[in-house]
Structure 1
Amino acid sequence: MKKVLEEELIYEILSVVEEIPEGTVASYGQIARLIGRDRNARLVGRVLSMAQFYGNYPCHRVVNHAGRTAPGWGQQRFLLEEEGVIFKDNGCVDMKKCQWDCE
């Protein structure tokens, strides 16, 4: 595997993230499927961890498949709640109510 990600791939991922509507979330796997890389959810996470170097993208709208927010990013939940995203009692996003319906 290449150590340096190709910028074309980075911008492909970020362009999908940019399309996630306010008040909804997408999973890492969902984004991977949308770019034709079904088994590369971790790659999506890696790209999002450095998205600030490529511009201003709504990365806070991406969670894992169970609705869990990114570890170590306490502000993510606040940003999502500000947009009206619903959280369950266990602290995860309610994916049934808030997942982006794009597929």
Structure 2
Amino acid sequence: MPSSSEPAPDEPPFVERVLAVVDSIPPGRVMTYGDVAAVLGSRAARMVGQIMAYYGSDVPWWRVVRASGHPAANHEHIALQHYRAESTPLLGVGSSAYRVDLRTARFDPADEDHPNDR
């Protein structure tokens, strides 16, 4: 008998599900690693980070940020280029410690039909 932590036989593996959520984040919006995990019914934010590190190069990885709004470590410069191109709301631009303004840029797939005013 499979454990409750194993996906159902017809459910895609966790890696594929994470990448699908990340691929669904619209330009100019972001989710935290924890947000992505929560959408999948999980609390495995660190696992989402690992998946992004190993498999995330083919999805808009810059749209997944740390809970503080900071981009992935050691990817700040390239992420900033993407944020500027997508008009992502940022705080502290001009400093090396800029971050995404989560209050206005955070994406919630449950609110997709009712986007919040930015």
Per the shorter chain, which TM-score range?
0.7 to 0.9
Shift of 1:101: 2.6
Match of 2:105? Answer: 98
TM-score of the pair, normalised by structure 2: 0.73
Give aligned pairs, total: 94
Separation of aligned partners in 1, 2:38 and 2:108: 13
Consecutive unaligned residues in structure 2, runs of 5 or more: 1-11, 111-118
Separation of aligned partners in 1, 2:30 and 2:44: 18
Amino acid at match of 1:16: V
TM-score of the pair, normalised by structure 1: 0.83
Consecutive unaligned residues in structure 1, runs of 5 or more: 1-6
Q: Is 1:43 equivalent to 2:47 in the alignment?
A: yes
Matching residue within 73, 79, 84 for 1:81? 84
Match of 1:18? Answer: 23
- SS of the residue corresponding to residue 100 of structure 2 reads coil
- RMSD of the TM alignment (CA)? 1.6
What does the per-residue CA deviation read over 1:1-30, in whole Å, with 9 as the maximum and x for residues that have no partner? xxxxxx811101001001001110010000
Moved over 6 A (4+): none
- SS of the residue corresponding to residue 24 of structure 1 reads coil
Higher gyration radius (CA): 2
Separation of aligned partners in 2, 1:102 and 1:13: 13
Shift of 1:99: 0.7
